[in-house]
Amino acid sequence: ETNEEGNATEEEATSEKLVIGFSQVGAESEWRTANTTSIQDAITDAGHELQFSDAQQKQENQISAIRSFISQEVDAIVFSPVVETGFETVLQEAKDADIPVFLADRAVDIEDDSLWVTFLGSDFIEEGRKAAEWLVDDMADHEGDINIVELQGTVGSAPAIDRKEGFEEILADHSQFVITQSQTGDFTRTDGKEVMESFLRSDGDNIDVLYAHNDDMAIGAIQAIEEYGLTPAEDIKIIGIDAVKGAFEAMAAGKMNVTVECNPLFGPQLVELIEAHMAGEELEKRIAVEEDMYTMDQAKELLDSREY
Ligand code: AHR
């Protein structure tokens, strides 16, 4: 659109229409679905064109999606890496093609930070710390050892690595807390349930706490605990991460004790960052999403107002 003098109108001059390629992790959890919608809507609502690719939790799918974005000569790539390592080559290819990459949600473990513009996502180590701090406080009066089973996220992913690290960092000063079993549930309900079943089979009467790296696995595990004949949140304390609606429903039903927030609704903020970069603004390398934590006694009151 132009004005009478043939110049671009103000609206066009400030926000150029971009083609944005978005390589998403998958559809493994409630959190992920909310995150996908938030980013997709923010891109299209801002008038940009979206090229979307779902990696189904497989690194090789992400590498080929990014290569295809490069060959389509998109203006920017949004990338939420399934795992932290192994993306150097493809990110170098994007850099060589002068296509800016924005890391969303998950980080990479790569030394050369010139391979991406900025990383917008949660502080997963802090989330792990918050989970452990809640537990230490909640069980302050407990005498004797406290046996914890841990459902880890996807092996090699930033949230699985960091949530474990933050949790263990706090518990290192409290030797009565012992992680007795720890295995991946790949961030899904189905695997969370299955792995919890195996934890219960091997040591069912000695589990005091479940620490799940996300709510979906916690919800799957709650089912396993009930089927085993124990009462979740009473016989076994349940800690999750994400603060999705499903966790609020479980807490409102008295089946889950606490969830640490991980906010997936950063699509609009991400698009602002892409536009700012395109307009020549210098961005911080790391931008964190702010978040809270919620306990069972707040669940009923907050359930209806939860957006994801
Ligand atoms: O990377 C964020 C994590 O990935 C969420 O906590 C989890 O639910 C998702 O699958």
- Angstrom CA distances, 221 to 78, 162, 207, 215, stand at 32, 21, 13, 10
Burial status of residue 156 (CB atoms within 10 A of its CB: 0-12, 13-18, 19 or more): middle
**pLDDT less than 70: residues of the chain:** 1-15
**Residue 163 Cβ contacting ligand 1 at under 6 Å:** no
Pick the residue whose CA is nearest to atom 4 on ligand 1.
32
Closest ligand 1 atom to 216 CA: 8
* Contact by Cβ (8 Å): 277, 100: yes
**Residue 32 Cβ contacting ligand 1 at under 6 Å:** yes
Bridge-based pairing state of the strands 209-212 and 101-104: unpaired
What whole-number distance in Å separates Cα of residue 42 and Cα of residue 50?
Answer: 10
**Residue 241 Cβ contacting ligand 1 at under 6 Å:** yes
**Residue 266 Cβ contacting ligand 1 at under 6 Å:** no
Q: In terms of Cα–Cα distance, which of 207, 221, 252, 223 is closest to 152?
A: 221
**Residue 28 Cβ contacting ligand 1 at under 6 Å:** yes
The reported pLDDT for the residue numbered 8 is 46
What digits encode the pLDDT tens for the residues 114-153? 999 999 999 999 999 999 999 999 999 999 999 999 999 9
**What is the distance in A from the centroid of ligand 1 to the CA of 187?**
7
What digits encode the pLDDT tens for the residues 229-267? 999 999 999 999 999 999 999 999 999 999 999 999 999
Helix boundaries (H) for 110-237 = 124-138, 158-171, 189-203, 215-228
What whole-number distance in Å separates Cα of residue 81 and Cα of residue 163?
Answer: 16
The reported pLDDT for the residue numbered 291 is 87
